């Protein structure tokens, strides 16, 4: 979804696009670690896409 949206947005050279991404480390109540990835795409200051996903560190092979 994000890649398709960004490719479509990049075709329009008259607009200014900003792609922002972040990954946040979270400590769960049970002591396990998870991560939240967030991506935002803006065009001319207006939000086009705001996507967020959470995942456990163990699920992607990260040793916290």
Report the 3 state secondary structure along the chain: CHHHHHHHHHCCCCCCEEEEEEEEEEECCCCCEEEEEEEEEEECCEEEEEEEEEEECHHHCCCC
Identify whether the C-beta of residue 41 lies closer than 8 Å to the C-beta of residue 57. Answer: no
For the segment 6-56, what is each residue's pLDDT rounded down to a tens digit? 666 666 666 687 888 999 999 999 998 899 999 998 888 899 889 999 888
Residue 37 CB contacts under 8 Å (≥ 6 apart), including other chains: 21, 22, 23, 24, 52, 53, 54, 55
pLDDT at residue 59, rounded to an integer: 62
pLDDT at residue 25, rounded to an integer: 92
pLDDT at residue 49, rounded to an integer: 87
pLDDT at residue 60, rounded to an integer: 60
């Amino acid at each position: 979804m994000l890649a398709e949206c960004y490719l479509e947005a990049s075709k329009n050279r008259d607009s200014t696009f900003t792609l922002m991404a972040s990954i946040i480390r979270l400590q769960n109540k049970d002591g396990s670690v998870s991560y939240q990835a967030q991506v935002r795409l803006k065009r001319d200051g207006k939000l086009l896409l705001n996507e967020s996903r959470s995942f456990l560190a163990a699920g992607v092979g990260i040793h916290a």
